[in-house]
Structure 1
Amino acid sequence: MGEHGNGDPRESGAVINAGDGESGQYAIDDPGLPPHRPRLADEDEKTAKRSERQVAVLFLVSIIGTVIFFIGYFVVGHTADLHEVRLQNTLLGVGVAFAMLGIGLGVVHWAKTLMPDHELVEARKPLRTEDQRQEAEQIVGDVLEESGIKRRPLIRNTLIGAAVLAPLPAVVLFRDLDLSEDFGPERMRHTIWDEGVRLVRDPTGTPVRAADLTVGSAMHIVPETLLDITDHGEKLAEKAKSVVLLIRMDPEEIQTVSEGREDWTYEGIIAASKVCTHVGCPVALYERHTHHLLCPCHQSTFDAANEFEVIFGPAGRPLPQLPIAVDDEGFLVARSDFTEPVGPSYWERGNA
């Protein structure tokens, strides 16, 4: 055994502990921050100017990308020619890519070559007095001064131009989602559902007999009048508002029936809008044992047994229910349109 005692490495001196509470010594001392190594741009003004021009070029690339997007959006692709449509899609994609990439790479290159790169450690200070506020303002001023944005107008001006233009493609795209003159709350209130309109399967258009539905079944439904619309754009718009999920459950499992809704279902068959009241995603997942409907986008969950009330997730109101009945031939029909606007909640909904 000798001087190593019982062979325990902790007692043999072969292993140094990470810390020793008595001696205060550590196996690895705090090395601190490494010495600062200046960059070429820190010591050579020509290199700094070259870096400045490179950053400005990247910001100009962003501006050119935005211009390419607008050329593709407003100039190209207004005919049915397939080649022109492909060219438009290419210009839109390339334009947005260069607009975002140019401004992103420009900021990164600016930070790496021209902004101060000294590392420092500073203890966190609680905010206390007006002096502290003024100190914070001074820090912000120092940051602006150190960034060189005041001393380098070429970078500043190209950055401003790129930052102003870069968001415009998104603004144009969102604005152009719907240019209809009647867009507004009233438009979302009404669908093509009406009294006597048959419920048909989507996409076959087959009418649905109440006797053919078994307990636990669920299917996607559209109004029969949708089949008569010939304009493709109008058809899609109407379908987006009027699509319905039809469910059959045991009538005894329907727990909530509000006053005035006593005749909205038929022998446990119940229908509701598929458009989630959060942001409009299609509610399509039905769990027959719990009677829960799940929106796959943000997990809003609705209870079909309790008039489709929200039981989980960000949705702010229940799914609108479609009143249904059975006609003389045994087919399911609507009693009326939805009694409230379908789709997401929005600030104007109360005016609809």
Structure 2
Amino acid sequence: MKYYIIAGEASGDLHGSNLMKAIKNQEPEAKFRFWGGDLMAEVTGEKPVKHYRDLAFMGFLEVAMNLKTILTNIKFCKEDIKNYKPDVLVLIDYPGFNLRIAKFAKELGIRVVYYISPQLWAWKEGRVEIIKKYVDDMLVILPFEKDFYKKHDVDAHFVGHPLLDAISDLSEINAEKFKKENSLNDREIIALLPGSRKQEVEKMLEIMLSVRPYFGDYQFVIAGAPSLPKSFYQKYVDENVHFVSNKTYDLLRCSRAALVTSGTATLETALLNVPEVVCYKSSRISYEIGKRLVKNIKFISLVNLIMDREIVTELIQNELNTNRLVGELKSILDGSRRGQILNDYQQLRERLGGQGASENAAKIITTKK
């Protein structure tokens, strides 16, 4: 079977690579063509058709400014699919792009599988109608998503969360050795996860680093995104602000706490048992548009959404300031607040179910012809 897979972000590259491995376990002769990143490339030994670093645009304003590039990519993708003639198209999140491709592929008679649902329960709920019409199998990774789709007469498959698999595969880490290998000092680490896109990193790092004067006993370490060059981060680095690239999981496992930009990283941080403060700030225009479009959603972090209550503090837009960050960070470094978060993380893991999401998804994809 020939599979065409589209992942438009770093998290999609991770989940896409594990899915590809699982498909190969089920079907050793499987062939792939894909949009994604370095992790997916490692599975096949081939470069992606398009790398996700050239696809990810943050916020409404940024998307509008890059609309010509996006439309060009959509046109190219359609032609590429037509030429490759896959048996199955697998779409991973990235809805603005992927839902357009789903319609095109379905009209060509290609089976369409959506793995990792767009957050339609948060906004643009009307897009469910597109999924009902053009997607053959919807594979969801959050427990409440199955009920959401059932409400709209879509029989979605809950396969579990792939991050549980990715994290369970990690070997033991020696914090002292990690610090030495990455030229870090002996102080405890506060990890900074400012995101994977250039625009958001520029917005987030300045405010995250503004807390440094209040935490002189700690060292701050920036988790570099694989999509951005090391040179991009150099202006933020000094004697007590360090940088590591492509080692986010290892960094988190050696950290006392973390400041994390909203996204998949909030859940990764929780599953690695690191108390965190969730941060989010976009351009004023993007924020105002988003605030009017998002419906019935109390939280922005996956951690709080899954548990349907506030486990970790979310500092959004104007609330994301130095004073609030300092106060929240102090509360999770020591004391009862830290203990409560760690207890809540255990409940979070239980709610996400067991391991095997990638294998569960691959079984559905390879057995339904």
TM superposition score category, shorter chain reference: under 0.3
**Which of the pair has more CA radius of gyration?**
1
Larger relative helix fraction: 2
Structure 1 length normalisation: TM-score?
Answer: 0.22
Higher relative contact order (CA 8 A, sep 6+): 2
Larger relative strand fraction: 2
